[in-house]
Structures are given as C-alpha cells and as structure tokens.
Amino acid sequence: MSERGLDAKIVDMAKELQGFTVEMRRDFHKHPETKFEEQRTSEIVENFLRDCGYATQRAAGTGVIGILECNTGKAKSTVALRADMDALNVEEQNDVSYKSTIPGKMHACGHDAHTAMLMSAAKIISSLKDHLVGTVKLVFQPGEEGGAGAKKVMDEGHLNDVDAIFGIHVWVELPSGVLATRKGPMMASSDGFEICITGKGGHAAHPHLTNDPTAPAADIYNAFHKLISRAVNPFFPAVITLPQLEASNGYNVIPDSVKMRGTLRTFDSDLRNKLMDHMRSITEHYAKGWGCNSSFELFRAPYPPLINNPDLVDFVTEALCMLGPVAEAEMTMGGEDFAFYTQKIPGAFLQLGIGNKEKNVIFPHHHPKFDIDEDVLWKGVAAYALIAYRYNPLS
C-alpha cells in the first residue's frame, strides 16, 4: 500500500475507534485520579498495551511506557508519543452521565481525553507494525499538574534513546477540530513561589507596639508588579501574579506573619532567573526595612518554557495534511511539563481544538464546568498515529 493509502487507512481506523475512544475518556472522567495517584488509570492502560503487543515499563511511579519494536534491523530511530493522565482537585459542576464520582476531583484539563486518544492510537500503530521501522514509545505520564511528572520520567532514563517526542493537548480556546502548533516558544515557564514575612503581632489599635508584617507584604506585592514595567524589556513577555494571601483572621488583629503565594511566567530562562533574583532581593530588603524576617521559596518544581523544534513543526504540518491545515498556535502563558522533554529531546507539542459554543463547551481549563467536544477525539487519535507512522515508515 502506498504512503498516501496508509495515511487514509489510519484516518479511517481512527474514525472507527471513535466510540471506543469516547467510552474510555468517559470512564477515566468518572474515575479521576490526581498526580501520582493514577493507580486505576495506569492499570487499565498497561493491560491494554500488553493486549496490543507492547512491552511495558512503569515510570515515575504511576506512569506507563509502551514499547513497540518495528523492523528494528532496518532502523535505530525511536519516536515517542506522550499523553498525561492526572486529574485536578476540582469539584465538578457539570450535569452529565460521566460526571466525576470522586468528590473534589475532576478531569478539568482534558487529560482523560489525552489518555483515551493515545490508547486508540496504540491500537492503530500496533496493527501497522509491519509498515514501520525502529521503535515507538508511548508515554502515559503521571503528575503533569504541578508534579513535574515529565521530569521524573526523564530523570529515570526511560527516554534516553528517543530521537523525537510529540504531545497533544485538547484546547478549548480553539474551535473544535482545529489542529495548531508553532515553531519555537509556545508555552511559558511556570514557577510557584511562597513568601513568608514574620514580625510581631498585636492589637490593631496599637500598631506602634508591633512589627506589622502586612506593611512590607503590601509593598512587596506592589513592587513585584512594578518589575514587569521597569525591569523587563517590553518586547519580552512576562507575568507575575500573587493571588494567594494569608494574614490576620480578625479585622482588629495584627498577625505575627503573612504568607503570599504566586506564580512567575516567562518564555526566556535568563529573564526568569533575573526576575527571581529581583524578587528574592525585594522580599528580603522590604521585610528587613520594617523589622521583619522573610523567606522566599519555590513550593514545587519549576517548569521550563516549552520550545518546539522548528524542523519537527514542519514535519508535523506535512504529516497531518490528511486532517486539514495545521494552524499557527498562539503563544500562551500557561505552563506544561512537556517542556522537560523538549529541554533534552527535539519535540513538538500540538493543540486540538475542542471549543464549541453550540454544545456549551466554553469553560476554560481548570474550571469546574470544563468539558470537551468529544466528536473530534478521532482527530487526535489519527494525529498521534500519523506522526508515529510518518516519522519511521518502512520504505
């Protein structure tokens, strides 16, 4: 069969598996598991991969990697496809048959769809084994949501032999069915920081008898936001947000301490480091000026910016032509731990549009009413399978 003929066959198989893909997505949605608790999900995935002829390895605790050797005597190249599996600590507000059955947990970012799509793609890729060369690795990854699961997978060495890696994320900001990517920076670095200012509390009527930590906290809050306009080149995007503050429980009580939590986002690692130094210095000196002590710490692993390999973006654009044109994605300040892969392996990350106003699929990622247009899941399946086939076809 010609290359074009196999492309069409892959698309047809993805459409035939649409019912299975939706069924699996709904099953995972009803049984969400948060970072590094994906026991049920990983067991289902691992058993399915073995039934499809893949060797499997456990990774990062609750992750699963499927390995398919295809005519390896003719090529040594290894391509990896990644799907994340974890849910969020969100109470679902959707009234649907597949609503989360776990209180306080929900697939509010679409990772249930990613897992289901890559499972269906695994079935297609396995059936085309005789038309492929080299090795295909399917990475079902835990802990994307703040757990840096990708970093754990990399640190354990599971992908040391991988020549290229690809990932797909459902994207509500894009119209349903649209595929998009871009060359170079696509998603921002993501840091979570915590500031603690410790002083001496007391009665609000006698502030002079205290070392009020709320005074430097307010100054630090304002100074951090001034960094964007005064310490950053206007042509370099950056965001600092401090939405979480904990201080007094009483309107007339000055607290002993104040805690603030926030996030820093940039597309440039050098700028990120520069801003971090500024933020530490501001915290220390403002607190000291008010007679308080301070600390500035990261409370989770920092995510680097996600940088797509330009050659692989060109490859993807050509490989997916059967699915229509691939649009240029907008840069986003959202973070994604796929960036840990692209730090060391050439890679490309894609978005699959799932936004549909007619179906009320309009709520953003991480929202309690987030949902997806399931009718386009076959397209994600086809994209995964086409990338695997086109990267290492048997010539």
Pair (279, 137) in one structural domain: no
Q: Which residue has the tokens 């430097």?
A: 216
The verdict on whether 374 is a catalytic residue reads yes
Pair (167, 208) in one structural domain: no
53: left (phi over 0), alpha (psi -120 to 50) or beta: left
Q: Is 367 annotated as a binding residue?
A: no
Pair (118, 12) in one structural domain: yes
Pair (204, 285) in one structural domain: yes
* Residue stretches of the chain with pLDDT short of 70: 1-4, 72-75, 395
Q: Is 145 annotated as a binding residue?
A: yes
Pair (61, 207) in one structural domain: no
Pair (310, 287) in one structural domain: no
Greatest C-alpha distance within the chain: 85
Residue 394 has a pLDDT of 77
Phi (first) and psi of residue 308, to 5 degrees: -80, 140
CATH number for the domain including 227?
Answer: 3.30.70.360
**How far apart (Å, rounded) are the C-alpha atoms in residues 393 and 347?**
18
Q: Which residues pair with 347 in a beta bridge?
A: 165
Pair (171, 198) in one structural domain: no
Pairing of strands 238-246, 257-266: antiparallel
User: What burial class does residue 85 get, using C-beta atoms within 10 Å of its C-beta: 0-12 exposed, 13-18 middle, 19+ buried?
Assistant: buried
Pair (199, 260) in one structural domain: yes
DSSP letter (8 states) at residue 83: E
> How many CA atoms lie within 13 Å of 325's alpha carbon, on the beta-carbon side?
3
Q: In what order do the strands lie in the sheet with 78-84?
A: 55-59, 63-70, 134-141, 78-84, 164-175, 347-355, 179-181, 327-328
Residue 76 has a pLDDT of 75
Pair (78, 159) in one structural domain: yes
Q: Which of 148, 71, 132, 85 is closest to 338 using CA atoms?
A: 148
Asked whether 70 and 147 are in contact (CB, 8 A), the reply is: no
Asked whether 71 and 130 are in contact (CB, 8 A), the reply is: yes
The verdict on whether 16 is a catalytic residue reads no
SS3 188: coil
Q: Is 169 annotated as a binding residue?
A: yes
Domain stop point among 282, 298, 314: 298
Q: Is 366 annotated as a binding residue?
A: yes
Asked whether 4 and 386 are in contact (CB, 8 A), the reply is: no
Domain stop point among 257, 281, 298: 298
Amino acid, res. 322: M
Amino acid, res. 370: F
Pair (154, 208) in one structural domain: no
Pair (129, 98) in one structural domain: yes
Residue 1 has a pLDDT of 56
Pair (28, 143) in one structural domain: yes
Domain stop point among 255, 275, 298: 298
Q: Is 107 annotated as a binding residue?
A: no
* Domains in the chain, number: 2
DSSP letter (8 states) at residue 35: T
CATH number for the domain including 180?
Answer: 3.40.630.10
Which position among 303, 341, 389, 391 bears the catalytic label?
A: 303
Per-residue pLDDT tens for 334-364? 999 999 999 999 999 999 999 999 999 999 9
Which position among 98, 336, 374, 389 bears the catalytic label?
A: 374
Residue 71 has a pLDDT of 86
**How far apart (Å, rounded) are the C-alpha atoms in residues 147 and 108?**
16
DSSP letter (8 states) at residue 107: -
Residue 105: give the domain boundaries.
3-187+305-392
